[in-house]
Structure 1
């Protein structure tokens, strides 16, 4: 993988590791998670520290995605995320994409191996890295443990096409996104709203 910013320490969460499919175990044995493509992709590892890298916490901790998003099942493994905090989940052998603003899930119609192959070949498209590229062109740089905050949220049609991009701690960004989702999840499409909360 290109643009490596972080590689996880050796596996220290054997309990979570034992629950993973063999192909993910093989990947994590070789490298216990990474932040690659200059922050465009974060694959979580089986560790307890740092917390933002902890797959077990994202999967079954207090803030697990299946506890925050009704579209996510307890068996879905949130193995990775993109630069703004959208999630890649394993459901069986299929890789799913979770839009963390809206809670919508899309089947990417690839398995883990072909997911990695696709991002290696077409990282900008496969990872939706346009926000990160724009941030970098303005001189910005994501550090390990950070995600890009986008204001206003992508799912809101606003008068301005400009979005503010800034790096914030990953767990703070994910908490914000799940809170935003909780506020809008029952609104009909096209609902007018006045949005003042900043990311």
Structure 2
């Protein structure tokens, strides 16, 4: 992996580790999660702290993703996320992508090993790095524990009235905002007007 800005410390959450498939256990034993591609990919670790890096927080904790997003199962493992907080999950051996704005779930037709291979070979496409590249070209830098907040959200049509903006925000703050946004729009018909407060 390129552009590594954070590597997880020692394994401290052995309960979560034991629940993972053997290939993910092997990856995390070698490096307990990582933030790579200058913030474009975060693979979570089995740790108690920092909380933004802890797999258990988003898998089984109070703020577990399946508690918000109806398409998810309790057994789906949210092993990673992209620069804006879209989630990469394991369902069986398949890697899925959760769009955290809309709640849509897509099968990427790869296993974990081939997901990593694709990210290495085609990072811009595999990881959706365009927002991060634009942010970096404007002088922005993502730090470990941060995600990009995009405003307005990508799924909204603004008819050119609002210029898109991005800023670095703490992971928990971004994921909470996305969950609230999803809850607000999930039952709305297409074309419905919404009013949002920026993060």
Which category of TM-score, normalised to the shorter sequence, fits these structures? over 0.9
Q: Which residue of structure 2 lines up, in the alignment, with residue 178 of structure 1?
A: 179
Structure 2, unaligned runs of 5 or more: none
Partner secondary structure for residue 148 of structure 2? strand
Listed one character per residue, the Cα deviations across residues 93-121 of structure 1 (whole Å, up to 9, x for unaligned) are: 00000000000000000000000000000
User: CA offset at residue 197 of structure 1?
Assistant: 1.2
Q: Which residue of structure 2 lines up, in the alignment, with residue 5 of structure 1?
A: 5
Alignment of 1:149-168 (within 5 A): 149-160=149-160, 162-168=163-169
Q: Does 1:116 align with 2:120?
A: no
Alpha carbon RMSD of aligned pairs, Å? 0.8
Partners of 2:92 and 2:182 in 1: how far apart?
A: 25
Partners of 2:5 and 2:119 in 1: how far apart?
A: 16
Partners of 1:45 and 1:11 in 2: how far apart?
A: 8
Alignment of 1:77-96 (within 5 A): 77-96=77-96
Listed one character per residue, the Cα deviations across residues 40-82 of structure 1 (whole Å, up to 9, x for unaligned) are: 0000000000000000111000000000111110000000000
Q: Which residue of structure 2 lines up, in the alignment, with residue 60 of structure 1?
A: 60
Partner secondary structure for residue 12 of structure 1? coil
Partner secondary structure for residue 113 of structure 2? helix
User: CA offset at residue 173 of structure 1?
Assistant: 0.1
Structure 1, unaligned runs of 5 or more: none
Partner secondary structure for residue 142 of structure 1? coil
Partners of 1:163 and 1:62 in 2: how far apart?
A: 32
Q: TM-score, normalised by structure 1?
A: 0.98
Partners of 2:72 and 2:138 in 1: how far apart?
A: 35
Runs of 4+ in 1 over 4 A off after TM superposition: none
User: CA offset at residue 165 of structure 1?
Assistant: 0.4
Q: Which residue of structure 1 lines up, in the alignment, with residue 48 of structure 2?
A: 48
Aligned residues: 198
Q: TM-score, normalised by structure 2?
A: 0.98
Partners of 1:17 and 1:105 in 2: how far apart?
A: 25
Q: Which residue of structure 1 lines up, in the alignment, with residue 23 of structure 2?
A: 23
Q: Does 1:145 align with 2:148?
A: no
